[in-house]
Amino acid sequence: MDTIFALASARGKAGVSVIRISGERAFEAAAALCGTLPEPRLAGVRPLKFQGSLLDQALVLAFEEGASFTGERSVELQIHGGAATISAVLAALSRQPGLRLAEAGEFSRRALENGRLDLTQIEGLADLIDAETEAQRRQAVAVLSGALGRKAEDWRRDLVRSQSLLEATIDFSEEDVPEVVTEEVSQALGRVRDAIAAELAGAGAAERIREGFEVAIVGAPNVGKSTLLNALAGREAAITSEIAGTTRDVIEVRMEIAGLPVTLLDTAGLRDTQDQIELRGIERALVRARQADLRVFLVADDEELPLVPEERDLVFLAKADMREMRAGAVSGLTGEGLDELIARIAAALEVLSARPSLVIRERQRHGLERALANLSSALSLVEVMGAAELTAEEIRGATRALEILIGRVGVEDLLDEIFSRFCIGK
């Protein structure tokens, strides 16, 4: 396998940049530039030279096979982060025999292939790199730690034992499977089924933390929705006007509330109209508002809207600055009531995001759903006389679904897509 290298830190000027080398010739290639390597896993300062010219002073770290991120021999060069310095060191490495520039995600792919990470950890790593909020960071770190993979391995171990017990009784296929076997298998399958069902129950919350919650601001025309959106965003994201029907399309603003990723939606004012363009905007507003995780209703008085608040939705009186009684009112113009609104949005979203599972990707959810379906079938068959082979086959299907989940089998067609999303140095 080729020895690869790449800039592992962000591009652009920096105090320190990191270049990573991984593969069989990593030590030789690094030594060609810095002379001698420090002892593995001990840092040492070395001059980097190529063709008699000093390139830079670098902090060098070497890792033996089995002790690096990729599982291969690896070297990291921590150099000064000027563009010319980075370019010179990369050019010198490209001239070393047997080395080539890494492809996108190739370091992480080698970590998977060498058993350093499972596929769920790779997906957690990708999410950690992309994390924008504290909740996303915590969730990604939990998955990167291998928690979901360890659970899947525990479930798989129980299923493999259950399958082996059943297959040992195939000779009894015309008779009842021994009671002691039936009881042990039933208990094991039930435990795994319940654990997977519990993990799936929190998948929706985990997915929303990863993708973000949608909060729609809903109300009649000229009630102050766009002004409120601008106040929450801290900038003029939506055009405001006294002319009713100014907002024709859904305007989206991405922000963070209580550590959670949130997309605020400013929707068209809801009213009866003959204007066909405005009518299409209202129809679109109703669709997006119904699909949103939470709706904030701004009401001027007791007007009736074509959308009824649900139990978890928030209802605020509009234009608090123009009211004598200001309890439960908010004003985007003056900021009055904004703190209460944000606090109530945060409280509602924290309820929606409570008890998230470790299932952060649709691929993972589908894998567990397949395993759950197989287990349900196996449990319905386990006590049926002569059905040992059918039961074992259902258990085998559940086991395979878990193996696909952690990337042990059947995911080759997914890997190119997954790793193409990584940067070159990861």
- Check residue 240 and give its pLDDT: 44
366 confidence band (pLDDT: 50, 70, 90): very high
Asked whether residue 421 carries a pLDDT value surpassing 70, the answer given is no
Asked whether residue 425 carries a pLDDT value surpassing 50, the answer given is yes
The percent of residues above 70 in pLDDT, for the chain, comes to 86
Among candidates 7, 2, 144, 5, which has minimal Cα distance to 74?
5
- Check residue 231 and give its pLDDT: 84
150 confidence band (pLDDT: 50, 70, 90): very high
Contact 294, 309 (CB under 8 A): no
Residues in binding site for K(+): 222, 241, 243, 246
Residues in binding site for GTP: 222-227, 241-247, 266-269
Element (H, E) at 63: strand 53-63
Task: Compute CA distances 126 → 160, 254, 355, 366, whole Å.
Answer: 31, 20, 22, 19
Asked whether residue 269 carries a pLDDT value surpassing 90, the answer given is no
Starting at the earlier edge strand, list the strands of the sheet with 74-81: 44-50, 53-63, 74-81, 14-22, 3-7, 99-101
- Check residue 177 and give its pLDDT: 53
Contact 364, 405 (CB under 8 A): yes
* Domain 119-202+360-407 bears CATH identifier 1.10.10.10: no
| Averaged pLDDT for residues 329-352 | 87
290 confidence band (pLDDT: 50, 70, 90): confident
| Averaged pLDDT for residues 154-177 | 76
In the block, which residue shows the tokens 């649709």?
362
CA atoms within 13 A on the CB side of 256: 11
Question: Which of 96-100, 179-183, 383-387, 410-414 shows the lowest mean pLDDT across its residues?
Answer: 410-414
Domain ranges, ordered by start, for the chain: 3-113, 119-202+360-407, 215-352
Question: Which of 115-129, 261-275, 312-326 shows the lowest mean pLDDT across its residues?
Answer: 261-275
- Check residue 99 and give its pLDDT: 95
Please state which CATH number belongs to domain 3-113. 3.30.1360.120
- Check residue 241 and give its pLDDT: 41
Question: Which of 25-39, 154-168, 265-279 shows the lowest mean pLDDT across its residues?
Answer: 265-279
Q: Which CATH superfamily is domain 215-352 in?
A: P-loop containing nucleotide triphosphate hydrolases (3.40.50.300)
- Check residue 267 and give its pLDDT: 77
- Check residue 244 and give its pLDDT: 43
Of 299 and 139, more confident: 139
CA gap 275, 254 in Å, rounded:
30
pLDDT digits 0-9 by tens, 63-106: 999 999 999 999 999 999 999 999 999 999 999 999 999 998 89
Determine phi and psi for 419, rounding to 5 degrees: -75, -20
- Check residue 246 and give its pLDDT: 43
Asked whether residue 55 carries a pLDDT value surpassing 90, the answer given is yes
- Check residue 274 and give its pLDDT: 54
Asked whether residue 245 carries a pLDDT value surpassing 50, the answer given is no
239 confidence band (pLDDT: 50, 70, 90): very low
Residues in binding site for (6S)-5-formyl-5,6,7,8-tetrahydrofolate: 20, 76, 116, 426
Residues in binding site: 20, 76, 116, 222-227, 241-247, 266-269, 426
- Other Cβ atoms less than 10 A from the Cβ of 424: the count is 17
Residues in binding site for Mg(2+): 226, 247
